[in-house]
Amino acid sequence: MKVFTILLLSLPLLADTTRNAVPSDNVNSRYTVESVSVTEKDRERLSKQLKEDMERLVGEKFEQGIVDNLARRIRKELRAASVMAKLSRGTTPEHVRVDFESKPRKMEEDADLTKFSYHSQQGWTGGVEMGFDAGPARVKFGVQSDGNELLERYAGFTAGVAVPIGDRVQVRFAVESFHEQWNQATIDALARNTAAGKNDIPGVYRTRNNFEPAIRVALARNLTLTAGVSFEEFQTQFPAARTEGSHSVITTLRYHRQWADSDTSGQELDAGYSLRAATNFLDSDYVYTRHLVNALYSRKFHHQEVLARFGAGSMNGNAPLFERFVLGNSRTLRGWNKFDIDPLGGSRMIYGSTSYRYRVLEVFYDTGSVWDRKENAVVRNSVGCSLLFGSLRDGLAFTVGFPLRDGHVQPLFIMSANF
Amino acid sequence: MKFLRRHLFRVVSYAVLCVVVRVVAQELSVRNGGDQLHISAPTLHFLSGKPLERLHNGSIVAYDFQLSVLAESKTAVLRRNFERFDFSYDIWEERFKVKRMRSTQSTADHLTAAMAEAWCLDNMAFPSTGLPFDQLVWIRLEVRAQEAKEPQPVPGEQGISIASLIEIFGRASKAKQPQYWKLEAGPMKLADLRSTGGRSAD
């Protein structure tokens, strides 16, 4: 029995080799392919090259090996659990139709590392998110500790549920709960600010909780609009512990488009505009408006890739610290430390970056400025290189960044995974 | 207590084994045609279930056959014959084509399901020379349909994700899929077969 089991396990290898060696043992190989199809939803997600290769089957004799290979490629591009090719009679004799049917994964996104980086002056940042389907709804849970994105290090959990309504609308509810840690440079800068009699920047807080219901509408094929409200509550630390609220209306318009020339070549454009407006109407203790635009364009050509990023932001009114703009982390002004640029961030920001990759080597140039309304903007630049595994958008990078400034040069080491 | 635990373990193991190895109680007939042992199993229909569905979808489905001659105790294998048959189903003619893959390759087509099954069993005959004709033996036939190729890790997907693990462990047990058949005949003496010129030994 054991011998038979071993032989049975080994026979598929023998059979597969045999099957690849001969053209086809399939009796249907004498028929001509009349059509090749996938569902319309799947078709939209396939690359141009793959769709062309599928079309190329039409008019040819049915070949099992080619169809199996196409099924594997479709599965790869759709990230499906499986893709099965089903053969059926064509409309004319001696012709067959090939239909590829995909089966989605039970957990499409499963556990994702949503953020991961190390900055030699700002420490570690990491986040994991787990998602699953509950009927039509998609539920997500995540934990994270982030000392990279904002002035504070925030650590805690996130949870959310997204429910689709039809093909174009999605209702989302998100909950966040964080504990905060502050860099001494920020606390000292706030103390100086208070001593100077300026009260335009609120103080630090120890916890922050957010509830954010929103609705996302697909306005066009590549254009989405998200609108909702954010009820953010935080417990201030000085001068006394009390809970304050920053309740705002949020709106995001995003355009995303990919052009895939082939498996290794293509372009991608991602651009967005976000508005957060905290008003008394929502019983907010803070009143402000925050505008942010960002754009990204990447062009990939075999082993080479170029990426350009741009971002700009402006804020009016009295906003809590988590809303202030920051530059000088693992993604922006690489080589600079955000606490050296401005430990309190700014209410204005502009940023640009250009990166070029050849195989695993990336070189970049970053420029940007963060300032407050009544101050003059100081433009800072940095250059650097990275050892990159993956693409400029989705890769693991070991980066050395050099801030361009007079006097001494103090490079910074950054390890980051982009998602 | 230890005895009870061991006994319970045996019972559970046996139950699991019964589920894992789906023994199909069907008739296996053995006859001696000259120097060769021939088998037939008119009630065995392995062209069924998922494998048949895959065939109807135009795929090739491979079936592995093993024919064994066992000693009376069923612990020693006296002779064994392996074979693989590739099946495909003609979408237009609704007939099967079978190809013998391991030994001398031969093909039969335009077959009904019953004819295709019988053709495979006909091609499982093996020489009876050298076998102990005066001892009691068992004849066992095992048939297994190869599953569709397991999805390979998609190139570009790094590592093993939780989703892929769930996919692997969440699949229905192979034992629950009717893709394995086992038939036995005996105990019998091969000499009796020869003396009678072939008989059914159920």
DSSP B53-77: HHHHTT--EEEEEEEEEEETTSSSE
CB A318 within 8 A of CB A278: no
Residues in chain B: 202
- The amino acid present at A147, given as its one-letter code, is G
Q: What is the pLDDT of residue A16?
A: 39
Q: Which residue of B has its CA nearest to A394?
A: B156
In the predicted structure, residue B86 carries a pLDDT above the cut 50: yes
Q: Which residue of A has its CA nearest to B106?
A: A25
* Residue A242's pLDDT band (cuts 50, 70, 90): confident
* Residue A6's pLDDT band (cuts 50, 70, 90): very low
In the predicted structure, residue B174 carries a pLDDT above the cut 70: no
Give the lowest-confidence range in A88-92, A110-114, B184-188.
A110-114
Q: What is the pLDDT of residue B102?
A: 79
Q: What is the pLDDT of residue A207?
A: 94
pLDDT > 90 fraction of chain B, expressed in percent and rounded: 18
Question: How big is the CA angle at A311 (ends A308 and A315), to the nearest 5 degrees?
Answer: 180
Q: What is the pLDDT of residue A104?
A: 75
In the predicted structure, residue B196 carries a pLDDT above the cut 80: no
**Which residues of chain B make contact with A102, given a CB cutoff of 8 A?**
none
- Per-position b or e across A166-196, b if 16+ CB within 10 A of its CB: eeeebebebebbbebebbebbeebbeeeeee
Q: Please judge whether A27 and B97 are an interchain contact, meaning their C-beta atoms are less than 8 angstroms apart.
A: yes
Q: Which residues fall within 8 angstroms of residue A128, CB to CB, at 6 or more apart? A: A111, A112, A113, A114, A142, A143, A144
How far does Cα A315 stand from its chain's mean position? 24
Question: In the A/B pair of chains, how many CB contacts fall below 8 A?
Answer: 110
CA distance B51 to chain A (A): 13
Q: What is the pLDDT of residue A387?
A: 93
Q: What is the pLDDT of residue B194?
A: 52
- Tokens 């570009």, residue located: B156
Closest CA to B58 of A90, A41, A21: A90
- Tokens 């635009």, residue located: A293
Q: What is the pLDDT of residue A334?
A: 94
- List own/partner pairs for A251-255 with CB under 8 A and 24 or more apart: A251/A225, A251/A226, A251/A227, A251/A275, A252/A225, A252/A226, A252/A227, A253/A223, A253/A224, A253/A225, A253/A226, A254/A223, A254/A224, A254/A225, A254/A226, A255/A222, A255/A223
* Residue B201's pLDDT band (cuts 50, 70, 90): very low
CB A76 within 8 A of CB B156: yes
CB atoms within 10 A of CB B196: 12
Nearest by CB to A87, which of B91, B109, B148? B91
In the predicted structure, residue B3 carries a pLDDT above the cut 90: no
Nearest by CB to B58, which of A12, A86, A110? A86
Please write the tens of the pLDDT for every residue from A32-49: 999 999 988 888 888 888
Q: Please judge whether A96 and B91 are an interchain contact, meaning their C-beta atoms are less than 8 angstroms apart.
A: yes
Question: How big is the CA angle at A158 (ends A112 and A297), to the nearest 5 degrees?
Answer: 55
Residues in chain A: 419
Q: Please judge whether A11 and B86 are an interchain contact, meaning their C-beta atoms are less than 8 angstroms apart.
A: no
Closest CA to A117 of A404, A341, A353, A386: A386
**What's the count of helices (H) and strands (E) in chain A, helices before strands?**
6, 19
Could you say which DSSP state residue B91 is in? T
Phi/psi for A104 (5° steps) reads: -70, 160
Average pLDDT, chain A: 87
* Residue B155's pLDDT band (cuts 50, 70, 90): very low
* Residue B147's pLDDT band (cuts 50, 70, 90): confident
Q: Which residues fall within 8 angstroms of residue A136, CB to CB, at 6 or more apart? A: A163, A164
In the predicted structure, residue A252 carries a pLDDT above the cut 60: yes
- Residues 151-180, chain B: which have Cβ within 8 Å of A? 151-152, 154-157, 161-164, 166-167, 170
* Residue B8's pLDDT band (cuts 50, 70, 90): low
Q: Please judge whether B163 and A107 are an interchain contact, meaning their C-beta atoms are less than 8 angstroms apart.
A: yes
**Which residues of chain A make contact with B86, given a CB cutoff of 8 A?**
15, 19, 25
Q: What phi-psi label fits residue A186: left (phi over 0), alpha (psi between -120 and 50 degrees) or beta?
A: alpha
Q: Please judge whether A12 and B146 are an interchain contact, meaning their C-beta atoms are less than 8 angstroms apart.
A: yes
Give the lowest-confidence range in A138-142, A405-409, B2-6, B139-143.
B2-6
CB atoms within 10 A of CB B174: 12
**Which residues of chain A make contact with B60, given a CB cutoff of 8 A?**
19, 25-26, 64
Give the lowest-confidence range in A206-220, A321-335, B48-62.
B48-62
Which among A348-357, B42-51, B127-136 has the top mean pLDDT? A348-357
**Which residues of chain B make contact with A11, given a CB cutoff of 8 A?**
62, 64, 82, 84, 146
Give the lowest-confidence range in A193-202, A279-288, B104-113, B144-153.
B144-153
Q: Which residue of A has its CA nearest to B53?
A: A86
CA distance B195 to chain A (A): 31
CB A214 within 8 A of CB A228: yes
Give the lowest-confidence range in A323-332, B72-81, B146-155.
B146-155
Question: How big is the CA angle at B172 (ends B53 and A141), to the nearest 5 degrees?
Answer: 125
Q: What is the pLDDT of residue A262?
A: 62
Question: In which order are the strands placed within the sheet that holds A32-37?
Answer: A32-37, A95-103, A82-89
In the predicted structure, residue B160 carries a pLDDT above the cut 60: no
What gap in Å lies between CA A404 and CA A377, rounded to an integer?
16
**Which residues of chain A make contact with B58, given a CB cutoff of 8 A?**
26, 28, 62, 85-88, 96, 98
In the predicted structure, residue A107 carries a pLDDT above the cut 70: no
- pTM more than 0.95: no
Closest CA to A276 of A326, A235, A211, A230: A230
pLDDT (mean) for A104-113: 60
3-state helix, strand, coil in chain B (%, to 5): 30, 35, 40
* Residue B11's pLDDT band (cuts 50, 70, 90): low
In the predicted structure, residue A99 carries a pLDDT above the cut 80: yes
Nearest by CB to B60, which of A3, A25, A109? A25
Q: Please judge whether A110 and B161 are an interchain contact, meaning their C-beta atoms are less than 8 angstroms apart.
A: yes
Helices (H), A106-155: none
CB A157 within 8 A of CB A176: yes
DSSP state letters, A49-78: HHHHHHHTTTTSBP-HHHHHHHHHHHHHHH
pLDDT (mean) for A261-287: 88
What gap in Å lies between CA A272 and CA A285, rounded to an integer?
28
